[in-house]
Structure 1
């Protein structure tokens, strides 16, 4: 998928939320704080498009997410990103279910739901723990490591390989393709349009090979579910399969990977919270929810108004782009007590609000339970094995307005 590069835009001192450098610098939280108070429905012009409404309050984002008839995700309306998906070369892929509305979205979601039912996820815990243990055993005995490549990226890619029913040795390819797919604003990950075409071509060829194998020898993996699914009584088309495959590759590792690395960074910056987990590991499930709230690994999702409407008294015209900023909602003062405090006990109470790191409404992340399980097991084993592990140097972040990601993060630990 070849996407337009973000262009710089002079806004006379007003923030450009589309600017990926904003998130690279870490300036966005203070900007969102100001917008929530002064202009929670904020018009953001674009140098290369029509502009969009930025939605920064929790309640508004939740309401929009649960109103698909009024706020569409459909590709033909522009899709789920700030740029218009229907104007971008798609390399023989159809819209993915993340860029669909009901009832079509529900039909596609049902295809892979059996792969994420609670019993199936819980049955993976032992294998996930074994993977975590092996990854930690393989950390250098020098007491220093690059954590993203060694652990944070490796674990979810290995789990994704299991879901696909492919060898773990295929993981590096899946990882490279995922990075290229979401890294349109990072020159290290999307080095050129030609490189992206190469990645998409390789991914499509790989997926086609799996399609043929699962047609002949179906299993219980996600690929088999897709290949043998029917939509409205008809087999899934190959372009729709390719689109869904790409979505699964990205969704299967980006959120988990960046929550793991961002979570360790947060614990390093708040040693008193790490101490709480060391003293009481039963807090780790609460800490996982707080990590996802704090990191907000997916910064935004976009919808398009299907008719004239209003949000907080602001008129929204039919066809306007509406961008929901999860990173802002997850620190909304109206929803959270002391939202700028990282607190691993925050989610002990059943009365705690739901963090929006996994979205809301019909598009709530289907793999959220699996992501939570990986995070829980990882931090249980990591803190048990290396109680003093901490970030020891400069962190290199992904240049993106979509994914809150960390590319490199050095750590130090006692051995």
Structure 2
């Protein structure tokens, strides 16, 4: 499953939203601001493809997301990324539910839903807090740390291991495989095609072993649910299970990890907002929603038009790719009077538009409640114990047009006595 790297193209002064360097250098918000004002449904040519429609306004993203009959996620139509999933060399897995349309999507989603019901999530709170406490206990007494490896990456991977029913010692492998899966445009993460293929094969072999174990000895973990659930009397086939496993590995940590790191960066850059949380920790749940809006850790999702249609006067043809830019919709001036202000109290007020960092419609992230719980507990404990924690040097971002992530972030803080 070797995904093609994005190739930049000269668009005569117009933004190439496919270019990973646009996000690496944090130039995308200005590009999206211009497009929302001038060309909210924008045709973006590709150097190595037919081009795609870029949807940048909040209302249009909602409309596309909620009409799967007209705008398909299905793998056989191209899937959920800008590139066509059905044209990738070496992709012998079947589609996961993120690349399915109704009614198939609903059936597979029901297989995993029991793992994310509110009661199950709330029962994890004590264990998540214990993990956060342990990670913060291990912060260096020097008052300096690399935050991604120490906290932001470690917490969601440990929680993912619990969901899978595997030892926490397997976490580093899951982390490496996740990075390789989404890092096709980052030379540090995609060292070579051979390395990428090695990671995919290792992950498939690991998943296969878990599948066999859970068939023989089921538990109440996600893998057992996948191995034993049935749709229309039939069990999930093995290729679809592998695709679903890869989806869960990526979705189970990328959004949370990059919201944690992006949230701490936002608080460091907005000390007045951090002080509000120190003065009133009850604002932290609101801050979590604002962090996801502000960071937009998943930059886009793609659909394919199943018939000719029109959006904001633009004629979209059957087969055209339609890419919804969550990072743009989350700063739409038509939804918020001050979308470029980071405001931890924004979601404490009634009637505020929901952030769309977890998606919209049928593909709304199943793990959103778990991600929010992790973020809430992390910032409660982090600010209580290290109220002056601050980004202390240059950060290194992931080179990607899909995940808005941070690979390295130095922090400083006053150690506990």
TM bin, normalised by shorter chain, reads over 0.9
CA distance, structure 1, for counterparts of residue 78 and residue 137 of structure 2: 46
Could you tell me which residue of structure 2 aligns to residue 278 of structure 1? Answer: 278
CA distance, structure 1, for counterparts of residue 266 and residue 8 of structure 2: 30
Could you tell me which residue of structure 2 aligns to residue 153 of structure 1? Answer: 153
CA distance, structure 2, for counterparts of residue 286 and residue 135 of structure 1: 24
Which aligned pairs between 1:191-230 and structure 2 lie closer than 5 A? 191-230=191-230
Could you tell me which residue of structure 2 aligns to residue 323 of structure 1? Answer: 323
TM-score (normalised: structure 1): 0.99
CA distance, structure 2, for counterparts of residue 354 and residue 363 of structure 1: 15
CA distance, structure 1, for counterparts of residue 324 and residue 173 of structure 2: 31
CA shift digits 1:166-196 (9 cap, x unpaired): 0000000000000000000001001111001
Could you tell me which residue of structure 2 aligns to residue 138 of structure 1? Answer: 138
1:34 aligns with 2:37: no
Which aligned pairs between 1:332-351 and structure 2 lie closer than 5 A? 332-351=332-351
Could you tell me which residue of structure 1 aligns to residue 55 of structure 2? Answer: 55
Q: How big is the shift at 1:90?
A: 4.5
Task: Go from structure 1 to structure 2 and tell me whether the alpha carbon gap of 1:312 and 1:91 turns closer, same or farther (over 3 Å shift).
Answer: closer
Could you tell me which residue of structure 2 aligns to residue 354 of structure 1? Answer: 354
Which aligned pairs between 1:46-195 and structure 2 lie closer than 5 A? 46-195=46-195
CA distance, structure 1, for counterparts of residue 258 and residue 89 of structure 2: 28
RMSD: 0.6
Q: How big is the shift at 1:332?
A: 0.2
Which aligned pairs between 1:241-280 and structure 2 lie closer than 5 A? 241-280=241-280
After TM superposition, the structure 1 stretch with the greater mean CA deviation from structure 2, 254-263 or 83-92, is: 83-92
Gaps in structure 1 of 5+ consecutive residues? none
Q: How big is the shift at 1:91?
A: 3.8
Could you tell me which residue of structure 2 aligns to residue 412 of structure 1? Answer: 412
Q: How big is the shift at 1:381?
A: 0.1
Q: How big is the shift at 1:312?
A: 0.6
Count residues with an aligned counterpart. Answer: 415
After TM superposition, the structure 1 stretch with the greater mean CA deviation from structure 2, 279-288 or 90-99, is: 90-99
Could you tell me which residue of structure 2 aligns to residue 308 of structure 1? Answer: 308
Gaps in structure 2 of 5+ consecutive residues? none
User: For 2:346, what is the secondary structure of its paired residue?
Assistant: coil
Structure 1 runs of 4+ with >4 Å offset = none
CA distance, structure 2, for counterparts of residue 165 and residue 190 of structure 1: 28
User: For 1:264, what is the secondary structure of its paired residue?
Assistant: helix
Residues 358 and 365 of structure 1 are in contact (CA less than 8 Å); yes or no, is this contact kept in structure 2? yes
Residues 91 and 200 of structure 1 are in contact (CA less than 8 Å); yes or no, is this contact kept in structure 2? no
CA distance, structure 1, for counterparts of residue 12 and residue 273 of structure 2: 40
Residues 174 and 249 of structure 1 are in contact (CA less than 8 Å); yes or no, is this contact kept in structure 2? yes
TM-score (normalised: structure 2): 0.99
